[in-house]
């Protein structure tokens, strides 16, 4: 198991898990309007399946919100 | 819907922004309204065709993001996502890419904040992020200060649109430095200039348009008004009036009074009155 940060919350996930499976585990599977960055670098949806999480990764998952 | 059409018909001079033709010169934000219904009514009343929105962390169980997104999509406006809250070029570039994926637009209202006290844009981070984003194919709408050299550099990088502040975000102080805004207009005649931030009253928007600005972007002044829908309509009228005044060619101000009624033949006039 490894420790990562998801939206500033500590999470434990399986070693060598990919982003697709991690998002599924965190409950974002049904959300189409989400985007992800790891360590402040954008990860395209097409790259989720082959993006492997590493210990200490800081993952940001965002959704639409109002803005000015 | 009729009101939207009425408002749009009041703006006959269409313009193009990064290849998109618009008839309204008012862009409005989607934040801080008392309710989603009020937001939708205000957007319609404003006649705005471009709305700003953003991305934030949300828990997976939260439905608010989806509901907001659906309500915005139903309005059919052009979307201008922002990078509000970013303090570095790296953050802004990442958020812009996340926005493009979700909102399916290469437009980005680029904000790189340099100081949290007045939310002043960081000119150095802004230039850095602009350069990176343009290379990635974005159409950048930079939220910037009214510094002439900064705006020249942004234009040199390929920004067709520049959005200098009128005053710090959310202050409603109006145009704090009309001279600087006038200089920008004079020195950058090809740029599409919008005053973004600080507009408090319709007269502020009108003033910017009288200076020859191409448009106005605002949020708080409408969203936080007692009656946002009414205020949105007032802003639409003010933007239109300012634009017409700019085209009409305003008289130069003068120091001395000059009667508008002909003086020749003034009754009761006697030479000794002089």
For B54-70, the pLDDT digits (tens) are: 999 988 877 777 788 88
CA dihedral B167→B171→B174→B176, nearest 10 degrees, is -40
- Give the residue from B38, B87, B101 with the most A CB atoms within 10 Å of its CB, the best one to mutate: B101
Q: Tell me, what's the pLDDT at B10?
A: 47
> Which residues, numbered 117 to 176 in chain B, qualify as contacts with chain A under a Cβ-Cβ cut-off of 8 Å?
169-170
Q: Tell me, what's the pLDDT at B3?
A: 47
**Residue bearing tokens 């005044």:** B245
Residue in B with minimal Cα distance to A42: B94
Taking CA atoms, B254 is separated from B143, B183, B207, B244, B258, in Å, by 35, 21, 18, 22, 9
Percentage of chain B lying above the pLDDT 70 cut? 95
Residue A46 corresponds to which tokens in the numbers above?
């097409």
Q: What is the pLDDT of residues B243-255, one digit of tens each?
A: 999 999 999 999 9
Average pLDDT, chain B: 93
Banded pLDDT at A6 (limits 50, 70, 90): very high
Residue B196 corresponds to which tokens in the numbers above?
């973004």
Cα distance between residue A23 and residue A20, in whole Å: 5
Q: Tell me, what's the pLDDT at A32?
A: 72
Look at residues B44, B75, B49 and name the one whose alpha carbon lies nearest to residue B222.
B44
Banded pLDDT at B239 (limits 50, 70, 90): very high
Say which residue, B7 or B177, is predicted with more confidence: B177
Q: Tell me, what's the pLDDT at B6?
A: 46
Q: Tell me, what's the pLDDT at B273?
A: 59
Say which residue, B269 or B133, is predicted with more confidence: B133
Task: Please give the average per-residue pLDDT across B116-123, as a whole number.
Answer: 95
Q: Tell me, what's the pLDDT at B224?
A: 97
Catalytic residue among B5, B7, B90, B109: B109
Nearest-neighbour CA in chain B from A65: distance (Å): 5
Q: What is the 3-state secondary structure (H, E, C) of chain B?
A: CHHHHHHHHCCCCCEEECCEEECCCEEEECCCCCCHHHHHHHHHHHCCCEEEEEEEECCCCCCHHHHHHHHHHCCCCEEEEECCCCCCHHHHHHHHHHHHHHHCCCEEEECCEEECCCCEECHHHHHHHHHHHHHCCCEEEEEECCCHHHHHHHHHHCCCEEEECCCCCCCCCCCCCHHHHHHHHHHCCCCEEEEECCCCCHHHHHHHHHCCCCEEEECHHHHCCCCHHHHHHHHHHHHHHHHHHHHHCCCCCCCCCCCCCCCCCCCCCCHHHC
Residue B134 has pLDDT above 80, yes or no: yes
Task: Please give the average per-residue pLDDT across B150-175, as a whole number.
Answer: 97
Task: Please give the average per-residue pLDDT across B29-39, as a whole number.
Answer: 95
Residue B176 corresponds to which tokens in the numbers above?
């704090």
Q: Is the dihedral of CA B235, B223, B22, B84 positive or negative?
A: positive
Task: Please give the average per-residue pLDDT across A40-47, as a whole number.
Answer: 96
ipTM of the complex: 0.95
Percentage of chain B lying above the pLDDT 90 cut? 85
Prediction pTM value: 0.90
Task: Please give the average per-residue pLDDT across B130-138, as a whole number.
Answer: 98
Residue B100 has pLDDT above 50, yes or no: yes
* Chain A positions in Cβ-Cβ contact with residue B57 (cut-off 8 Å): 7-8, 60-63
Q: What is the pLDDT of residues B178-208, one digit of tens each?
A: 999 999 999 999 999 999 999 999 999 999 9
Q: Which of B31, B58, B66 sits opposite A68 (nearest CB)?
A: B31
Cα distance between residue A53 and residue A42, in whole Å: 14
Neighbours of B240 (CB within 10 A): 22
Is B109 designated active site? yes
Cα distance between residue A12 and residue A1, in whole Å: 6
Say which residue, B204 or B2, is predicted with more confidence: B204
Contacts of B87 (CB under 8 A, 6+ apart): B112, B113, B114, B122, B125
Q: Tell me, what's the pLDDT at B22?
A: 96
């Amino acid at each position: 198991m490894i420790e990562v940060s998801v939206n500033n919350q500590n999470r434990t996930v399986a070693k060598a898990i990919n982003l697709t499976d991690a998002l599924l585990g965190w409950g974002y599977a049904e959300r189409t309007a989400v985007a992800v960055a790891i360590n402040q670098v954008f990860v395209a949806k097409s790259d989720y399946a082959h993006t492997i999480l590493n210990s200490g990764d800081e993952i940001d998952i965002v959704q639409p919100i109002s803005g000015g | 819907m009729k009101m939207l059409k009425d408002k749009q018909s009041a703006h006959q001079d269409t313009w193009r922004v990064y290849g998109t033709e618009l008839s309204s010169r008012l862009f409005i934000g989607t934040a801080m309204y008392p309710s989603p219904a009020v937001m939708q009514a205000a957007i319609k009343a404003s006649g705005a065709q471009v709305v700003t929105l953003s991305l934030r962390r949300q828990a997976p169980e939260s439905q608010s993001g989806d509901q907001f997104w659906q309500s915005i999509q139903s309005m059919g406006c052009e979307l201008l996502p922002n990078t509000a809250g970013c303090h570095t070029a790296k953050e802004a570039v990442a958020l812009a890419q996340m926005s493009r994926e979700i909102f399916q637009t290469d437009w980005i209202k680029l904000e790189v904040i340099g100081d949290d006290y007045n939310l002043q844009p960081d000119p150095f981070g802004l230039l850095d992020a602009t350069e990176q984003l343009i290379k990635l194919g974005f159409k950048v709408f930079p939220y910037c200060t009214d510094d002439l050299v900064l705006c020249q550099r942004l234009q040199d990088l390929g920004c067709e649109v520049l959005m200098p502040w009128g005053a710090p975000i959310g202050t409603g102080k109006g145009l704090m430095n009309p001279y600087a805004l006038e200089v920008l207009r004079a020195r950058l005649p090809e740029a599409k200039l919008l005053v973004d931030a600080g507009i408090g009253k319709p007269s502020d928007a009108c003033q910017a348009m009288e200076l020859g600005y191409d448009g106005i972007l605002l949020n708080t002044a409408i969203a936080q008004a007692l009656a946002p829908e009414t205020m949105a309509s007032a802003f639409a009228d003010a933007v239109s009036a300012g634009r017409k005044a700019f085209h009409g060619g305003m008289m130069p101000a003068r120091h001395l009074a000059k009667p508008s009624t002909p003086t020749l033949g003034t009754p009761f006039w006697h030479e000794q009155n002089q």
